[in-house]
A = this chain, B = another copy of it.
Amino acid sequence: MFAEILTVGDELLTGNTVDSNSTFIAQRLTERGYWVRRKTTVGDDVEEIKTVIREILDRKPEVLVISGGLGPTHDDVTMLAVAEALGKRLVLCEECLEKIRTFYERLHREGYIDDPELNEGRRKMAYLPKGAEPLENTEGAAPGAYIEHDGVKIFVLPGMPREMKAMLENEVLPRLGRRKFIQRKLLAEITDESKLAPLLIETLERFNVRIHSSPKGFGKYIGIIIFGENEEEIERAKAFMEGKGVRFEEGW
């Protein structure tokens, strides 16, 4: 089960914003048992987004999560690019338009904006690729979209972290089935990461787990993450390594 993540936004390519969205999405997909094979970031450009979506679809992931570029401004072009990449038209989602209207009316009532009118930019957000299922945005104006295309589950989410996270939890994850992998972060006390390598490989062969290691400076500790389908298997893998002389501490 492999997945890809595409984040969209000029601010990510100029270094003005750290792409923590893709980190959050990757974490949630990993927990569900998906292997996130690649993350890509492109700017707010229809042609670029379209090109990279087509490349991703050619690699046939089971899931593609796209985040960013759904807002009301001229450079929010992700939905258009998704539609073009799939050879579909953008069509008005009446139900979405109603929600957008209600959303701006509320902002106006609460004094956040001067004008509740549905101008062109705001209306634009109600257009989704033909055949897409709208995903509810509980935290903002722009709806997301869910499209099954050629065996790939495509989710298009906003870029504002609060909106993206809510939509991922409420609308995306329930469509991906139950939680599958859990992970355990450990610090391995060992003075040379390279000595750990053969032991890790042996552990991987014996147990149904995935293991990542990463150096934590040049001190006595190496960060280890064990992924497994249940706590017991992780515990067995850990005990095996302890039997070979590795000392662990919890967390990092």
A residues at B contact (CB < 8 Å): 9-20, 22-30, 35-43, 48, 52, 55, 71-75, 107, 112-115, 119-122, 140, 160, 183, 185, 191-197, 200-201, 212-215, 218-220, 225, 227
A124–chain B nearest beta-carbon distance, Å: 8
Judge whether A10 and B114 touch: CB under 8 Å. Answer: no
**Contact residue among B17, B23, B72, B195 (Cβ-Cβ distance under 8 Å from A194):** B72
Judge whether B39 and A13 touch: CB under 8 Å. Answer: yes
**Sample of 8 further A-B pairs with CB below 8 A, known A13-B30, A37-B43:** A13-B26, A13-B37, A13-B38, A15-B29, A16-B27, A16-B183, A37-B48, A74-B201
Once bound together, how far apart are the Cα atoms of A200 and B197, in whole Å? 54
Judge whether A41 and B38 touch: CB under 8 Å. Answer: yes
Once bound together, how far apart are the Cα atoms of A185 and B214, in whole Å? 35
**Contact residue among B41, B114, B185, B191 (Cβ-Cβ distance under 8 Å from A39):** B41
**Contact residue among B12, B114, B212 (Cβ-Cβ distance under 8 Å from A16):** B212
Tell me the nearest residue of chain B to A41, going by C-beta.
B39
Assuming the contacts A43-B37, A52-B38, asked whether A23 and B27 have C-beta atoms less than 8 A apart, the reply is: no
Once bound together, how far apart are the Cα atoms of A140 and B71, in whole Å? 43
Judge whether A194 and B120 touch: CB under 8 Å. Answer: yes
Residues on the B chain within 8 Å of A74, using CB: 197, 200-201
Residues on the B chain within 8 Å of A25, using CB: 15
Judge whether B193 and A121 touch: CB under 8 Å. Answer: yes
Once bound together, how far apart are the Cα atoms of A219 and B107, in whole Å? 9
Assuming the contacts A121-B194, A218-B112, asked whether A15 and B27 have C-beta atoms less than 8 A apart, the reply is: yes
Judge whether A26 and B30 touch: CB under 8 Å. Answer: no
Once bound together, how far apart are the Cα atoms of A37 and B14, in whole Å? 9
Judge whether B40 and A28 touch: CB under 8 Å. Answer: no
Judge whether B192 and A113 touch: CB under 8 Å. Answer: yes
Once bound together, how far apart are the Cα atoms of A90 and B30, in whole Å? 33
Judge whether B113 and A73 touch: CB under 8 Å. Answer: no
Once bound together, how far apart are the Cα atoms of A103 and B35, in whole Å? 36
Once bound together, how far apart are the Cα atoms of A220 and B140, in whole Å? 15
**Contact residue among B20, B22, B215 (Cβ-Cβ distance under 8 Å from A71):** B215
**Contact residue among B9, B40, B48, B119 (Cβ-Cβ distance under 8 Å from A192):** B119
Residues on the B chain within 8 Å of A9, using CB: 214
